[in-house]
Structure 1
Amino acid sequence: MNREFKRVVLENSDAIVKMWLEELSKNRENDYTSTISNELFNNTNREFVNIIFTSVENEGTTKELESFSERLVNLGWPLSYLTDGLQSFRRVSINYLLSQSKEVNSDFFSNVLQAVDAWVDPIINQLVNEYSGSWENIVSLQRVALQELSAPLIPVMDNITIMPLIGTIDTERAKLIMENLLDGVIKHNAEVVLIDITGVPVVDTMVAHHIIQAAEAVRLIGSTCILVGIRPEIAQTIVNLGIDLRKFPTKSSLRKGFKTALQLTNRQINDIEKNNEGIEKILGSLDRE
């Protein structure tokens, strides 16, 4: 960076920053930052401009850019805040530097433009790269978390597992459901699997087809699949579509499905209170004898 330009910029930093902050505040009324608190907005702007001027002193980009862009991603600020802010800073800097010169000719104007571009462009490039990298990393982590939650298989008792499904089922998710279902059945040695579709808003031909495929795959590896959460509107839709779900049991609620699962694994639910009453009667009769 030109030494003279660096000296002028640093000596007039307060004036340039003031003009830039005023422009940001003026444009704030009609953009995405209008909903952000004044304190957070002002603190972020001042941190931003400190990083910009630090790059002048260091004659290059700084490590602070990485942490700054990462914080903006975590706060949910859009990339346009960085790009718009830097473009605004470019305009303000050029206008101010030109206004301080007594004589502006084409050579001087060209030199100012080149100097400001050489200062601002590397910052834009690094901020965009760092922001994009941080955003992609967060999106990747979220995608993994969603995949883990989209088709969970929960062992509730020996040989009985439940897969609760919530939300729309598309082809990609159906494939994940199939994989998790088969892996989980083998891993947990499940004899019965309950697929709960209570949280699935729409069951159309495609969704029903995927569910039938999953149930058939479970049957082929020696387990039984029970479909639970059949609401009246879903039952009517299935009938109207002519979908055959007779190959495996269906129940209207998870409670009923779980009772069926217990029966299929030679177990049942006993009423403890009734059993206690029966035991007390037997003991009472023994006492009388």
Structure 2
Amino acid sequence: MNNNLKKIVVENSDEIVKNWLEEVSKNRSNDYTSAISDELFQSTNREFVNVIFTSVDQQGITTELDDFSERLINLGWPLSYLTEGLQAFRRVTIDYILSQTEKVDSEYFANVLVMVDKWVEPIITQLVNEYSGSWEHTVSLQRVALQELSAPLIPVMENITIMPLIGTIDTERAKLIMENLLDGVIKHNAEVVLIDITGVPIVDTMVAHHIIQAAEAVRLIGSTCILVGIRPEIAQTIVNLGIDLGRFPTKSSLRKGFQTALELTNRRIVKSDDSEESIERLLDSLNKE
């Protein structure tokens, strides 16, 4: 029975393909494929159905199916295109097989359903696994990228680095901040590190505790940590919570913190009063020449 059903499908593949293409094109104007060119849509559909028939003919997952799904993943086509296409293939194939028999009893109908399911289900499973693996890989890469961006350490001058923090700070991120701070201080030979919390919306006991731990760790390896970006509401919260930040310098702005960092590294900003006069003398000398 199964071989007979398979023979019907394979020998009449052209008719089934025609019906399938009509089926998948019905709702095109209402979904994501409406933005795809007709040429690309039709060529992709034909390749898809050919891959399906190859899998049916060889009774298993093929390299053609793996290659096709990988290309669609790289092009950004959603998994729903594949699953809906396979469900359409299931419906069209069952209808065609039943139309070739004058008398359909319950046993024959059940055999048709089971046979077509055996063709379609392994393909759906394989495609879902392919997409899931790709999504997990993409999410993993995005997570790493976000972690790198969530606690950057920027060397702005010899022996001075800045770590700007934006967003909430949880335990996992606090651990990353600690690791980046210690690695960066050693890597950049930093004497002073400025932690800028201007972009941190809430500083509670837990956040303050993590910051204190990070600053203390920096101090233990011979550097100084300056906390900058202390807004009035943050200062009030810290006082109300009874948090002691007296172990290291704090400043209201990054500018003031940077000035302190310069002083700690035996440097200062000097404004030259005769800068304009010097420029004029230089221009005069160039004109004479």
TM-score normalised according to structure 1 size: 0.82
Post-superposition Cα deviations, 1:199-241, rounded to whole Å, max 9, x if no partner, equal 2222222212211111111112221111122233333333333
The question of 1:204 aligning with 2:197 is answered: no
User: For the structure 1 residues 236 and 134, does the alpha-carbon distance in structure 2 shift closer, same or farther, using more than 3 Å as the test?
Assistant: same
Query: For 1:73 and 1:233, how far apart are their aligned partners in 2?
Result: 48
**Could you tell me which residue of structure 2 aligns to residue 287 of structure 1?**
none
User: For the structure 1 residues 56 and 220, does the alpha-carbon distance in structure 2 shift closer, same or farther, using more than 3 Å as the test?
Assistant: same
Partner of residue 35 from structure 2, selected from 16, 34, 37:
37
**Could you tell me which residue of structure 2 aligns to residue 49 of structure 1?**
49
Answer with 62-71 or 214-223: which moved more.
62-71
Amino acid across the alignment from 1:39: S
TM-score normalised according to structure 2 size: 0.82
Q: Which runs of 5+ in 1 are unaligned?
A: 282-289
**Could you tell me which residue of structure 2 aligns to residue 129 of structure 1?**
129
Indicate if the aligned counterparts of 2:193 and 2:225 stay in contact, CA closer than 8 A.
yes
- Per-residue deviation, 1:246: 2.2
Query: For 1:222 and 1:205, how far apart are their aligned partners in 2?
Result: 26
User: For the structure 1 residues 80 and 193, does the alpha-carbon distance in structure 2 shift closer, same or farther, using more than 3 Å as the test?
Assistant: same
User: For the structure 1 residues 205 and 145, does the alpha-carbon distance in structure 2 shift closer, same or farther, using more than 3 Å as the test?
Assistant: same
> What root-mean-square deviation, in Å, do the aligned CA atoms of Structure 1 and Structure 2 show?
3.2
**Could you tell me which residue of structure 2 aligns to residue 257 of structure 1?**
257
- Identity of aligned pairs, percent? 77
Amino acid across the alignment from 2:268: Q
User: For the structure 1 residues 59 and 151, does the alpha-carbon distance in structure 2 shift closer, same or farther, using more than 3 Å as the test?
Assistant: same
Query: For 2:74 and 2:202, how far apart are their aligned partners in 1?
Result: 33
Instruction: Describe the SS at the equivalent of 1:95.
Output: helix
User: For the structure 1 residues 70 and 250, does the alpha-carbon distance in structure 2 shift closer, same or farther, using more than 3 Å as the test?
Assistant: farther
- Per-residue deviation, 1:45: 4.3
Q: Which runs of 5+ in 2 are unaligned?
A: 281-289
Q: How does 1:147-166 map to 2 (within 5 A)?
A: 147-166=147-166
Amino acid across the alignment from 2:273: K
User: For the structure 1 residues 47 and 270, does the alpha-carbon distance in structure 2 shift closer, same or farther, using more than 3 Å as the test?
Assistant: farther
Query: For 1:198 and 1:165, how far apart are their aligned partners in 2?
Result: 7
Amino acid across the alignment from 1:192: V
- State the aligned residue count: 280
Indicate if the aligned counterparts of 1:2 and 1:115 stay in contact, CA closer than 8 A.
yes
**Could you tell me which residue of structure 2 aligns to residue 182 of structure 1?**
182
**Could you tell me which residue of structure 2 aligns to residue 276 of structure 1?**
275
Query: For 1:186 and 1:262, how far apart are their aligned partners in 2?
Result: 19
Instruction: Describe the SS at the equivalent of 1:274.
Output: coil
Indicate if the aligned counterparts of 2:55 and 2:65 stay in contact, CA closer than 8 A.
no
Instruction: Describe the SS at the equivalent of 2:37.
Output: helix
User: For the structure 1 residues 280 and 25, does the alpha-carbon distance in structure 2 shift closer, same or farther, using more than 3 Å as the test?
Assistant: closer
